[in-house]
Structure formats: structure tokens, C-alpha cells
Amino acid sequence: MRPAHHVLAHRPLVLVLGSSALTALLACGGGTTPAASPDPGAAAVDAPSAVGPGTTPGAANASSLSVERLDAAAECDALVPSSAPEPVTVQLTAPAGGSCVAGNADGTGAVALGVRDAAGALTWQATSRDGRPLGSFAAEALVAAPDGWQGLAGAAGEVEHVAVAPDGRVRRASAISPDPALRTGFRSRLAQDPAGGSVVLFRSVTLAGNHWNALDAFRFDASGAPRWPEAVAVSSDPDAAEPYFMAAGVSTTGAALMLFQDSAFLRARWVEPSGAPVADASEPETSAAVVGDGLRHDVDLSPLLDGGLAVRSDGAWQRRYAPLASRSEPLPAWLADRARWGFRFTRGNAGYAALQPAGEASPDCAQRIELVAPSGRLCGRITLHEAGSGCTTGALDQGWDGTVVQQSGKDACTFRWWPGLLARG
């Protein structure tokens, strides 16, 4: 039975108008540090006064943010912020034939902004909390950490796990891939550890013999140091093509879950924080029952506050795994109702920030964040307003420190963020 969402009339608690913003113009090339970063002081500009809900949009670059509390229940008290900071606005320049991707804030308030070049390589520009350009680094997958970011990077068939400082310096790199003279067919999945750090599920295929595939798991702590002394063997199989898809995630209990396709089935393997595999003799579920029909899927796992992990397949949340469970179960109702939204733990793990996804038509150029209690109660809503009309929503995320980073719905290379907006109350 779905929990009731006791919704009151919309009564905005706070309306914060973006009367000024810091705009930094960054030239961000594919895989290289910008040759000349502009003077951050010279780049600062005053934006026109913002327009709020109920007024007529008009001024160019006008923007605003509104916060509404929608339920008076006590469990909502810690979820809805009572004020909001001024936004910081940064504009990137993508290389010819490239595109701007997304933004990701770490636990210090630094923000990494992604740009993909025409060849497909992904580079991240690190910026300070107030928008000053710092260093840049390459990573194909990236997750926020309490102090910087962790990601996967590689060239010439070699893959490394990298720990990146808030200023963009790679301060630690750990080899993930085996000797390419012995193995090939490298694929990997990276996931954030909600306690800090990350997990990697890595697939390779032997060049000799019958070309068996192997899945190995690697775990890293909040500093980026290996948490396990060596890779944990998850699976080995005599099919050089499989698994066609796989995913990894870390529960709030500390255990890690590895999901992977095996013929028409989906296998779930848990690994304890110590690196010890969890024994399981149960029969696997069919793949279609968890991620949908077919053998090609883009699958992710994200932790839930109760220790479970939600499964997303091809952009939509489908099922959940309870802690140490080998078979899936239905999603919580609040997530099933927002199947294509992203979500993060928010306000010091007081609940969830549900994030309206990119790619949706937004006639009024607004994008929403819904604040959901662990029970599923809708406690509040934050609406991010951009001037004008006829937008398509861009990437939206909440970083480790509660900073909300939004990609413009009008210009994909313009980003703005509200430092610590959804930090612990």
C-alpha cells in the first residue's frame, strides 16, 4: 500500500531572487587544460534582477529559485531549506564538434563541469565554489567524493581508477585493467559509495584458450586508496561476449552488489565490506523480470536509505534489492511514481532529493526538485526558473555537500549552481 502524500496548498516559504551572479568564461578543450584562463575578477558580471513565480518573464538572463513546503508533518522539518544562496553561473566553450555534458559537486563545494570532444573523449573542468577555473582532468565515469572526485580513465587499452583533488589534480591512480597482452574486451562500471569512495565492476576476456570472460570487483575508500588488497573474483564464464550488461552499487550497510547478465538470467552477487563474497545458492531471476526484455541495457544501481539498492534500466527505475537479497522486489511507491527522475540522499540523509531529468520539454523554462521523506511523503519542492520560454531541461544534480548544479535549458554549455542549497539543515 502506498503511503499517503498529505499535500497542503502550495505556500512558498522562501523565494530567492538571483540579483547577481558570477559568470566565468572557460575555454575547455578535449583532454587538455585551457591554455589561458581568464581573470576570475574580470569575468564577474552583474546579472539583471531575477523574476519570480507569478511575474512576467522578460529580462534577458533573469533567473530565480523558489522553495515550497508542501506538508506540515514533523518528518518534513529537516528536509525543506529555509533560505537559499545566490547562484553562481559559469559558461564553458565546447571544442568544435563537441558538447557540454553535466556538472558534479564534491564535498568541499568545488564543481566539475564535463565537456565531450568530437572524438568522444570526456574532460572535466574543476571550478571553485565561487566559479573560478582550476585544473582539468580526463575521466569517462565520475562520482563525487567528500574531497574531490573518483573516476575511471584510460588510454591504449588500459584503465585506471583515479582520485581527483578539488582543484582538478589527479592525486592517486590505481590500475584496474589486466595486461592487454593477456586479456581484452574491457568493460567497466563505477558506482559511488554513500559512505565515501567507490566500487568498480570490471569485465575482461582471455586471449588464450577458450576466451572465458571474468568479472572482478575493486573497492576504494574516500581517499581513493584500494580498500581491498586485491580484486574480488565475482564470476567467470566460457562465453566471450557475455555479460552484455552489468552494474555495481554500494548499500548504506557497506556491502556491495554486483549485477550481471547470464544468458536469459540476471545474477546478483553481494560482497561484504571486507571483500568476502556472500554465499548464495538461490536460483537467479530472469533478466526480463528486472531490467526488461532484450540483451542490451544500460543498467545502474543506486542506494536507498533503508539499505536497499534501486535498479535503473535504460533510464527508468524498475526494481529494488533489499540488503543481501539475491532476488528483486517492487520499488518504493515514491520512486515508481518518478521512474525517470534521478535522486540523491539530501539534507544530511534526512530524505531524498528527486531530480527532474534532462531532455523534458519545459514551456516555462522551469525544472523541479522534489523533497521526499523516507516514508515517501512529499515534503517540499524547489523550482529552478530560467528566463524565457520553450526550454528543454538540462542535466540536474545534487553534489556531496548539498550543492545543486543545473545545466541551462537554453544553452547546454551554461551551468549555474547554488552552493550548499541542500546541505544538512
More confident residue, 417 or 11: 417
pLDDT of residue 209: 82
When pLDDT is averaged across residues 47-53 and rounded to a whole number, the result is 26
CB within 8 Å of 74: residues ≥ 6 apart: none
Q: Using CA atoms, how far apart are residues 344 and 292, in angstroms rounded to an integer? A: 24
Is it the case that residue 398 has pLDDT exceeding 60?
yes
When pLDDT is averaged across residues 171-188 and rounded to a whole number, the result is 93
Which of 61, 79, 57, 68 is closest to 8 using CA atoms?
68
When pLDDT is averaged across residues 57-61 and rounded to a whole number, the result is 27
Q: Using CA atoms, how far apart are residues 369 and 388, in angstroms rounded to an integer? A: 20
Q: Which residues of 83-113 are buried (b: 16+ CB within 10 A; e: fewer)?
A: ebbbbbbbbbebbeebebbbbbbbbbbbbbb
31 inside domain: yes
Q: pLDDT for 316-354, tens place per residue?
A: 999 999 999 999 999 999 999 999 999 999 999 999 999
pLDDT of residue 156: 63
| Percent of the chain whose predicted confidence (pLDDT) is above 90 | 80
235 inside domain: yes
Residue 144 near residue 107, CB atoms below 8 Å? yes
Q: pLDDT for 246-275, tens place per residue?
A: 999 999 999 999 999 999 999 999 999 999
CATH code of residue 269:
2.130.10
Q: Using CA atoms, how far apart are residues 262 and 280, in angstroms rounded to an integer? A: 16
When pLDDT is averaged across residues 38-46 and rounded to a whole number, the result is 26
Which of 247, 223, 285, 23 is closest to 130 using CA atoms?
23
Cell 559509495, located at residue = 193
For the chain, the domain total comes to: 1
Is it the case that residue 207 has pLDDT exceeding 70?
yes
| Residue 392 pLDDT class (50, 70, 90 cuts) | very high
423 inside domain: no
pLDDT of residue 162: 98
Is it the case that residue 221 has pLDDT exceeding 60?
yes
2 inside domain: no
Residue 266 near residue 288, CB atoms below 8 Å? no
Which of 77, 73, 96 is closest to 413 using CA atoms?
96
Q: Which residues of 169-206 are buried (b: 16+ CB within 10 A; e: fewer)?
A: ebebeeebbbeeeebeebbbbbbbbbebbbbbbbbbbb
195 inside domain: yes
pLDDT of residue 322: 98
1 inside domain: no
Domain range enclosing 400? 11-418
425 inside domain: no
Q: pLDDT for 112-156, tens place per residue?
A: 999 999 999 999 999 999 999 999 999 999 999 999 999 999 876
